[in-house]
Amino acid sequence: MARVKTPGNGNTSRKQVTTMAAPKPFEVKKNTSTVNLEEEIRIRAYQRYEERGYEPGHEDEDWLSAEREVLRRLDEQQSA
């Protein structure tokens, strides 16, 4: 007797679902030659957004403030 083909019959593979993880906490990296400044700024800007309770409308302010903070910390690290 022939088997009836049903959805999923014989197909054991599962569709992978991609999830987006939250950015890692901000930290200045030790080796400044490998620092991806844009990524560091993006992470810090997102943290500022989180700290404000995910209130929209401050994207530019968050980015510029994060950029100043990351560059200041990088400068301080290089001076030490």
Q: What is the mean pLDDT of each run of 10 residues along the chain (80 residues)?
A: 58 58 58 70 96 95 96 90
Residue 43: predicted pLDDT: 96
Whether the predicted model's global pTM rises above the 0.75 cut: no
Contact 39, 26 (CB under 8 A): no
Residue 80: predicted pLDDT: 82
Nearest 5°: the CA angle 34, 36, 40 is 130
Rounded distance between C-alpha atoms, residue 6 and residue 4, angstroms:
6
- Taken in order 23, 29, 31, 36, is the CA torsion positive or negative? positive
Q: Find the helix packing angle between 59-79 and 37-51, rounded to 10°.
A: 130
Contact 28, 43 (CB under 8 A): no
Residue 33: predicted pLDDT: 46
